[in-house]
Structures are given as structure tokens and as C-alpha cells.
């Protein structure tokens, strides 16, 4: 019988930032991408990482940036991933990805690409910092489909993009022919921390979720999988539709270090690619093997359930008292940490907003500290709980309302 008392890990999915170089200038970019990191891994080091990922049982690797294809050896790395029996997918900004590059992706064994599109043309171009980037995404989708790749899309949900979601769904499903659409919340990390007026306030989730649910119901008939990323939820009335379609599952908490692994271009290893780098980097592949980092680094093992431990350890505020606390464990660690500098209490929660609404209350986030300007940094917020009918601060003119959502004319009134 084994005497190894270390927690047993179940990692199957890795997200790998190949480079921080990027050809866009997104105002909500969590990694503040633009220029390559000064110490990004060499080709030989990257290929060794591929071998290590296979050795620890990773089944799928998603390549991201910055913009992954700006790294010259990226298709060599992708081909090595598929040669080791792992599925390789890509998330791209979709700006100026050529037909030749799409064909090279197919030859490397990449099976699917998700294009980041944030709203209709005017909204997307403004957020992405490049005029014509929306049209470029449409061309990229054509190139990918022609090369034989499945095309998906991912969209940030914030005050500016939320109004475009119904119209955008029509474009994605009919014009781009996507197979899946992932929605994720914009949280105050990186460049987004510099634009707090862009971020949804907790009660605005009550505007957003009926919109997403209505779209998701339509998507069922269209054969498109609309689903929520881990930053958006939780335990609302349509959770089974939006996160666990065709199943009876429920949100089981942050999966950082449990089923996911994040790799930065300089070799830093995190339990989730979105988490802030400084507090959540467990080691670097230049110094230690991934197998060692993932088994022993506390920055990666904080979500593991140990025998006898209280499931609510580390929770505070509303989340410590919530009926779902034992399994939800505060929702997304990334969202909470970028607001308060620690995980365990996440006001960006659908169930929480609904509960407070029934009590005649709402929560509102107030920025109190700026981010320091580094990749994966974050600001600081405090929170007030107030009557739901209290006057909204007059300076906050960007507040999202249901009347602002733009519905296509041919959508029936619910």
C-alpha cells in the first residue's frame, strides 16, 4: 500500500501563454499584453514543457497570448503537443490571421480555434484598440473553417458589451457558424482595473442574466453551445442551461490547481491562467519539474479538499454564510482576488444578487486603489450594502439597464 500522503491531483487541462506579444491593444486585457516578456522560454524549453505536460496527464492544451501566432515557433510547439497525444486548441484575437496560417494550424493538428469578439463592430473595435479588428475576426473565421478547423467564440461581458450580446449572437451563429460561445465576466485585472466604469456592478448581473438565458434558449434550437466561463455565475435559476446543459450538475467551485493548469511565457506555473501572478505562481519550469510544482506548491494546492478540513475554510463575508458555501467555495478565486486582494468572498454572483434583491438590498463596489501597471495586476475595491432603491451615484453614468439591451427586430418579445 502506498504511503504517499500528498494530495492526489486531477489535472487534465492546461492553458499556455506562449508569448505576451500582441497585435491588439485591448482596454480590458488582464495580462496587459503588447510586448513579449523579456525572458520568454526558448523553443527547446517549450518543447520540454510539452513532454512534461504529457507526463502529468494533461489531455488538452489551449494556446493563448498575447497572440500565440506572433511567436515564430508556435506551430512547432502545437505539433509537438498533438504528437504527444494531447488535444491542441487555440484562443486568438483574430486580428490578421491569414489563410496560410490557418492551414498551418490544421497541419499542426490544431482542432479548434476560439476567436475573441467583444460586441458588434463599434464596441469591439473600441475595446480592442484597432479599427477594423471586428471585420478581421470575420475573415479569420472564414480562413479557419476553410482550413478544416472548428470555430468557437469567447466574449467578455461588461457594461459596454452586454448591450450587444443578442445582436452578436445572431452574427456568430449565422455568419460565423460557430459551434460554441463562451461568455466570461470582465474583472478588474490588468488594463481592466484602469477602467472601473467598464465593470459590471453586482446588481447589474440581474440585467445580464435574463439576456444570456434568453439567448441560450434560442441557441439550443440552433445547435450552438452557449456556456459560462468560471468567472460568471453561480447557482442562478438557469444554471443547468448555462453551465451544465443536458446534465443535473451544479457549480463545484474554483478548479484552479484541481483540473486546470496555467503556464506563462516565461515558464511560471499557476493553478489557473487567469489568477494574479505574484500570489499564485507555484514555481518555474526552468527551476523545477511541473510534476513537482503541481504536487507540492501551496499556490497550486489551495483548492484541494483534505480529510477533516472544513469546506468553508478561507471563506468570509456573504460567501461564508451562503447555503452553497460547502461546494461553491466562493465562486471564482480570480474574481474575488482582483476585487479584494484575497479569495473567498465574491459579490459577482447571480445567486447572491438575487438573494439580496429579495431582501430589498444591493451591493456596490467602490474602487479605492489603483493597479501597479504590471501584467496580471489588480486594483482594490471596497463594498457597500445599501437599499435596493437607493439613488444610484450620479457620477456613474455608465450604469447598465435592461432598456439599453439591443434586441434584433426578429426576436419575439419574451
Could you tell me how many residues make up the chain?
Answer: 414
What integer pLDDT is reported at residue 249 of this predicted model?
62
Task: Tell me the whole-structure pTM to 2 decimals.
Answer: 0.94
Residue range 304-327: average pLDDT?
86
What integer pLDDT is reported at residue 284 of this predicted model?
98
187: phi > 0 → left, psi -120 to 50 → alpha, else beta; which?
beta
- 1-10, 94-103, 155-164: least confidently modelled range: 1-10
Report which of 222, 212, 218 is spatially closest to residue 184, judged by C-alpha positions.
Answer: 212
Confidence grade of residue 248 (pLDDT, cut at 50, 70, 90): low
Q: Is the CB of residue 368 less than 8 Å from the CB of residue 188? A: no
With residue 373 as reference, give the H or E element that holds it: none
Q: Which domains does the chain possess?
A: 13-301 (3.20.20.70)
CA atoms within 13 A on the CB side of 400: 24
Q: What is the pLDDT of residues 83-121, one digit of tens each?
A: 999 999 999 999 999 999 999 999 999 999 999 999 999
For the chain, give the mean pLDDT: 93
Confidence grade of residue 311 (pLDDT, cut at 50, 70, 90): confident
Q: How many helices (H) and strands (E) does the chain have?
A: 15, 12
Backbone dihedral angles phi then psi of residue 158, each to the nearest 5 degrees: -150, -175
Residue range 120-129: average pLDDT?
98
What integer pLDDT is reported at residue 4 of this predicted model?
34
Continuous H helices in 304-387: 318-321, 325-328, 333-340, 350-358
Q: What is the pLDDT of residues 170-207, one digit of tens each?
A: 999 999 999 999 999 999 999 999 999 999 999 999 99
Q: At what angle do helices 74-83 and 99-107 cross, to 10 degrees?
A: 30
What integer pLDDT is reported at residue 7 of this predicted model?
33
With residue 100 as reference, give the H or E element that holds it: helix 99-107
Question: Residue 296 in 3-state DSSP?
Answer: helix
Q: Looking at the predicted structure, is the pLDDT value of residue 309 above 80?
A: no
Q: Looking at the predicted structure, is the pLDDT value of residue 50 above 80?
A: yes
- 11-15, 29-33, 110-114, 357-361: least confidently modelled range: 11-15
Q: What is the pLDDT of residues 62-90, one digit of tens each?
A: 999 999 999 999 999 999 999 999 999 99
Continuous H helices in 184-282: 205-222, 239-242, 277-280
Question: Residue 50 in 3-state DSSP?
Answer: helix
Which has more pLDDT, 37 or 308? 37
Q: Looking at the predicted structure, is the pLDDT value of residue 391 above 90?
A: yes
Q: Looking at the predicted structure, is the pLDDT value of residue 10 above 70?
A: no
Report which of 106, 37, 48, 102 is spatially closest to residue 77, judged by C-alpha positions.
Answer: 48
What is the widest separation between alpha-carbon atoms in the chain?
66
Amino acid at each position: 500500500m502506498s504511503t504517499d500522503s500528498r494530495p492526489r491531483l486531477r489535472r487534465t487541462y492546461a492553458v499556455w501563454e506562449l508569448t505576451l506579444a500582441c497585435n491588439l491593444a485591448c482596454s480590458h486585457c488582464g495580462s496587459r499584453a503588447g510586448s513579449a516578456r523579456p525572458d520568454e522560454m526558448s523553443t527547446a524549453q517549450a518543447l520540454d514543457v510539452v513532454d512534461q505536460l504529457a507526463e502529468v496527464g494533461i489531455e488538452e492544451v489551449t494556446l493563448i497570448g498575447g497572440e500565440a501566432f506572433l511567436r515564430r515557433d508556435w506551430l512547432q510547439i502545437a505539433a509537438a503537443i498533438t504528437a504527444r497525444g494531447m488535444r491542441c486548441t487555440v484562443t486568438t484575437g483574430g486580428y490578421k490571421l491569414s489563410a496560410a496560417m490557418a492551414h498551418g494550424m490544421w497541419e499542426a493538428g490544431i482542432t479548434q480555434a476560439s476567436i475573441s469578439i467583444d460586441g458588434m463592430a463599434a464596441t469591439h473595435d473600441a475595446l480592442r484598440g484597432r479599427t477594423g479588428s471586428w471585420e478581421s475576426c470575420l475573415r479569420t473565421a472564414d480562413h479557419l473553417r476553410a482550413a478544416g478547423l472548428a470555430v468557437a467564440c469567447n466574449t467578455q461581458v461588461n457594461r459596454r458589451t452586454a448591450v450587444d450580446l443578442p445582436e452578436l449572437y445572431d452574427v456568430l451563429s449565422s455568419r460565423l457558424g460557430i459551434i460554441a460561445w463562451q461568455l466570461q465576466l470582465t474583472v478588474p485585472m490588468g488594463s481592466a482595473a484602469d477602467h472601473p466604469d467598464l465593470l459590471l456592478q453586482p446588481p447589474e448581473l440581474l440585467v445580464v442574466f435574463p439576456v444570456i438565458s434568453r439567448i441560450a434558449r434560442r441557441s439550443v434550437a440552433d445547435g450552438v453551445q452557449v456556456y459560462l466561463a468560471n468567472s460568471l455565475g453561480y447557482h442562478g435559476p438557469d444554471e443547468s442551461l448555462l453551465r451544465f446543459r443536458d446534465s443535473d450538475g451544479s457549480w463545484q467551485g474554483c478548479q484552479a490547481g484541481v483540473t486546470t493548469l496555467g503556464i506563462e511565457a516565461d515558464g511560471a506555473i499557476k493553478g489557473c491562467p487567469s489568477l494574479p501572478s505574484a500570489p499564485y505562481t507555484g514555481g518555474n519550469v526552468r527551476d523545477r519539474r511541473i510534476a513537482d510544482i503541481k504536487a507540492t506548491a501551496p499556490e497550486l494546492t489551495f483548492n484541494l479538499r483534505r480529510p477533516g478540513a472544513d469546506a468553508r475554510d478561507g471563506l468570509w463575508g456573504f460567501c461564508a454564510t451562503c447555503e452553497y458555501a460547502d461546494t461553491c467555495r466562493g465562486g471564482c478565486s480570480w474574481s474575488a482576488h482582483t476585487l479584494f486582494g484575497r479569495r473567498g468572498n465574491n459579490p459577482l454572483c447571480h445567486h447572491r444578487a438575487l438573494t439580496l434583491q429579495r431582501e430589498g438590498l444591493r451591493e456596490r463596489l467602490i474602487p479605492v486603489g489603483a493597479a501597479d501597471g504590471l501584467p496580471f495586476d489588480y486594483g482594490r475595491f471596497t463594498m457597500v450594502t445599501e437599499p435596493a432603491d437607493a439613488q444610484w451615484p450620479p457620477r456613474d453614468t455608465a450604469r447598465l439597464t435592461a432598456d439599453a439591451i439591443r434586441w434584433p427586430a426578429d426576436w419575439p418579445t419574451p
